[in-house]
Amino acid sequence: MTLEQSLNRAWMSGRRHVLLLAENGSGKTSLLKNYACLAQNSIPLYVDLASAHGDDYIMSFLLRVYCGTTHSSENASEQRTALLRLFDREPAGTPAYTLLLDGIDESTAESHKDLHRELKELSACRDIQIVIAAPSYAFSFALELSCECELRRGNSFQAQSAPAV
């Protein structure tokens, strides 16, 4: 089963958060990046949490990378609101957007509060599925961040080497 098939199955079962756990170096980042290149049923939004920054941790990254907006620009607040509205549309079957959060163990301690706040806000949006990739040792932190996450250890989505693209 591919990651996309697994995410679709989770979504259809009412699970909007997915936790991808695997050891360091096992291919979590490659799997997410490969999915971001090949996804067919959803628009993938890959966020490298190690390089995200700003008061709106995830949102500032999305605005900067996908919309070309800096946090300090005049219309950043309006664009942020528009982005949240986009994520909050009524879903048509599968989610329109899949937020792929990578490097959660590399985020700074001061950003944890911001991450939690933003994930809570994004979780209220109806048309986005959130995937959090974390090494096994960061399980408790990742689970804390993923308020609605269902985890099936051992039967979870296994990280595997992504095919070359």
pLDDT tens-digit readout, 95-117: 999 999 998 877 765 667 778 88
Mean pLDDT of 149-159: 37
Q: How far is CA 83 from CA 14, 43, 51, 87, 90, in A?
A: 23, 13, 20, 6, 14
Whole-structure pTM value: 0.81
Cα–Cα distance for residue pair 79/128, rounded to 1 Å:
17
Fold of 3-145: Rossmann fold (3.40.50)
Give the pLDDT band (50/70/90) at residue 151.
Answer: very low
Q: How far is CA 19 from CA 49, 100, 104, 131, in A?
A: 15, 10, 11, 6
Q: Which is more confident, 93 or 52?
A: 93
